Amino acid sequence: MSGYFPILRQRVRKRTFRSLFLFVTSRCNSLCRTCFYFDKLNSKDDLTFDQIRRISETAPPFEKLWLSGGEPFLRDELPEIVALFTRNNRVANINLPTNGLLQERIFRSVDRMLALAPNVSIDLNFSLDGLANTHDAIRGVPNNFRRTLETIREAEKRYANVPRLRRNVLTVITRENYNEIVELGLRLAAEAKLSGQYFEIVRGETPDADLKRLQREDVAALHRRLMPFHRHYARRLFAHLPPGVRQFATMYYLGNLRFHFDLHESCLEQPRKWPMPCTAGETTIVIDHNGRFRACEMREIVGNLADYEFDIPAALASAAMRDEVEAIRNANCWCTHSCFIQESSKFSPRVQLFTIPWAWLRQRRQKLPEMPLRDIERFRALETV
Ligand code: SF4
Ligand code: SF4
């Protein structure tokens, strides 16, 4: 039974501060047309290390640190920042996106992070937004696809025996790439020993608004084709667990991902209420590279941490943040942002105990849409690995 308890404990919990979204730098070496932060990139007002230390020292213990930027690996003290939060705040998991371009810098930083933070689990998420030409065109960097894939392959060799470092790919679905995401997934599943591949819908104010012109039915059909990838990676992720616990963990993993897809589809074209309240600004806070803070990445700035002596509990308790939380509640706010769907769903017993298990059952019954025989065979191979 002991294997079930941590999974169950994760399911139902009190609404307390759980996650920090920290933009560790505004510096970036990409030019993504999908970037909702593009107008703030490469400014010269990044938080200093001492200010980040103060944020960590005043914050209560919390579970998850979502790092962001800019390209996080352009921040020289990245390993020391991770160590601060694992030491002072007992953070258990770090989510770390990267464009994968700076191989040497990434490995130097990850090696140091693993040494300085010996107990934390790290999700290292490489961005791949299509096959080579599409990826490079979306991200504005020649040979980006080739360079990122090389980094992924090298990471596989280097960290194969470090299970607490999960190597994932994150793919942003846009109008330009949705037709080749399945092919990308099939190639990655066959060639790169990843821990997972995850899919987000392009969101926010992007430099190229055309990328956001997606039809709900196209996205829904794509999602049905993407569930086999999640099943493939779930088998790998939970292979070490005893059979009963493995099935339980798999159910929540797949149910959760299907539930995210459901909300991505229902909120794609119009506001549609989530089945749980969004807890942004209560259980999470977003801190921009310069110390401005927000309830979530999609909403406006609420204040400047400098006015609260870089003290997160003071910022969360401020009148401005309380007003923002009230506004979110009254607006029945909605979006397709998986990080916040994930964070908010953790505080809804109904979603955890009914909606997610039901989503797991539904995905088991879902048939793949029509596709060429050759692809069907490749999918069958995927379902058995
Ligand atoms: S999406 Fe990320 S990698 Fe791309 S420009 Fe924006 S911050 Fe840089
Ligand atoms: S629903 Fe989305 S946009 Fe609204 S507050 Fe929550 S995370 Fe932000």
Q: What is the pLDDT of residues 252-295, one digit of tens each?
A: 999 999 999 999 999 998 888 899 999 999 999 999 999 999 99
Q: Measure 21 CA to ligand 2 centroid, in angstroms.
A: 14
- Please check the confidence at residue 13 and state whether its pLDDT lies above 70: no
Band of pLDDT at residue 11, cut at 50, 70 and 90: low
Within the chain, what is the greatest distance between any pair of CA atoms? 61
Cβ neighbours of residue 190 closer than 8 Å, sequence gap 6 or more = none
Looking from the CA of residue 328, the nearest atom of ligand 2 is: 5
- Is the distance from the beta carbon of residue 280 to the nearest atom of ligand 2 less than 6 Å? yes
Which of 264, 235, 262 is CA-nearest to residue 361?
262
- Please check the confidence at residue 8 and state whether its pLDDT lies above 70: no
Q: What is the pLDDT of residue 332?
A: 80
Q: What is the pLDDT of residue 196?
A: 97
Task: Tell me which of 278, 324, 334, 343 to substitute to probe ligand 2's pocket, judged by most ligand atoms within 8 Å of the beta carbon.
Answer: 278
Task: Tell me which of 274, 279, 333, 339 to substitute to probe ligand 2's pocket, judged by most ligand atoms within 8 Å of the beta carbon.
Answer: 333
Token reading at 21: 């979204």
Reported as a single tens digit per residue, the pLDDT across 72-102 is 999 999 999 999 999 999 999 999 999 999 9
Q: What is the pLDDT of residue 7?
A: 55
Q: What is the pLDDT of residue 369?
A: 64
Q: How far apart are CA 22 and CA 68, in angstroms?
A: 6
Give the mean pLDDT of the chain.
93
- Is the distance from the beta carbon of residue 35 to the nearest atom of ligand 1 less than 6 Å? yes
CATH superfamily to which 4-384 belongs: Aldolase class I (3.20.20.70)
Domain boundaries, the chain: 4-384
Q: How far apart are CA 54 and CA 8, in angstroms?
A: 34
Q: What is the pLDDT of residue 311?
A: 97
- Please check the confidence at residue 227 and state whether its pLDDT lies above 80: yes
Looking from the CA of residue 139, the nearest atom of ligand 1 is: 4
- Please check the confidence at residue 4 and state whether its pLDDT lies above 80: no
Q: Which ligand is nearest to the CA of 73?
A: 1
Q: How far apart are CA 236 and CA 252, in angstroms?
A: 15
- Is the distance from the beta carbon of residue 28 to the nearest atom of ligand 1 less than 6 Å? yes
Q: Which ligand is nearest to the CA of 278?
A: 2
Task: Tell me which of 23, 30, 96 to substitute to probe ligand 1's pocket, judged by most ligand atoms within 8 Å of the beta carbon.
Answer: 30
Q: What is the pLDDT of residue 380?
A: 74
Q: Tell me what the mean pLDDT of segment 25-49 comes to.
A: 97
C-beta neighbour count of 309 within 10 angstroms: 12
Looking from the CA of residue 69, the nearest atom of ligand 1 is: 7
Reported as a single tens digit per residue, the pLDDT across 118-151 is 999 999 999 999 999 999 999 999 999 999 999 9
- Is the distance from the beta carbon of residue 328 to the nearest atom of ligand 2 less than 6 Å? yes
- Percent of the chain having pLDDT more than 70? 94
Looking from the CA of residue 274, the nearest atom of ligand 2 is: 1
- Is the distance from the beta carbon of residue 295 to the nearest atom of ligand 2 less than 6 Å? yes
Q: What is the pLDDT of residue 229?
A: 93
Token reading at 201: 């819908």
Look-up of token digits 């798999």? 250
Q: Tell me what the mean pLDDT of segment 30-43 comes to.
A: 96
- Please check the confidence at residue 18 and state whether its pLDDT lies above 70: yes
Q: How far apart are CA 25 and CA 35, in angstroms?
A: 15
Q: What is the pLDDT of residue 146?
A: 98
Q: How far apart are CA 359 and CA 284, in angstroms?
A: 25
- Please check the confidence at residue 347 and state whether its pLDDT lies above 70: yes
Looking from the CA of residue 331, the nearest atom of ligand 2 is: 4
Which of 364, 339, 64, 385 is CA-nearest to residue 234?
385
Q: Measure 33 CA to ligand 2 centroid, in angstroms.
A: 22
